[in-house]
Amino acid sequence: MHETPRFRYYKITAWDDAGTGRIKEGMTLAIEPMVNIGGWETKVDRNAGRCVPKIGSLSAHFEDTIAITDGEPEVLTSA
């Protein structure tokens, strides 16, 4: 599940459709860092249905889902 706000890791900014960039109780966040050799620029390979490095180098992609609760955030998945 993906919902706003969306974070751009390489720019360290947050944005959402309403422009608030706020994280609120009840939201779930998909944290999906992608580590590329040679640079941060990516492109979408529509044939393969995935995001790949623009220069064609090796990369690794990880994902965890976090639930925002009234207390501590709760990790719903782990690698």
Distance CA 10, CA 7 (A): 9
- For residue 7, name the pLDDT band (cuts at 50, 70, 90): low
Distance CA 55, CA 7 (A): 23
Distance CA 13, CA 2 (A): 17
Q: pLDDT value at position 58?
A: 93
Q: 1 Cβ partners below 8 Å, 6+ apart?
A: 28, 30, 65
Name the domain count of the chain: 1
Residue 65 belongs to a domain: yes
Residue 9 belongs to a domain: no
Beta partners for residue 79, in sequence order: none
Residue 58 belongs to a domain: yes
71: containing domain? 23-75
Residue 30 belongs to a domain: yes
The answer to whether the beta carbons of residues 29 and 21 sit under 8 Å apart is: no
- For residue 24, name the pLDDT band (cuts at 50, 70, 90): confident
- For residue 62, name the pLDDT band (cuts at 50, 70, 90): confident
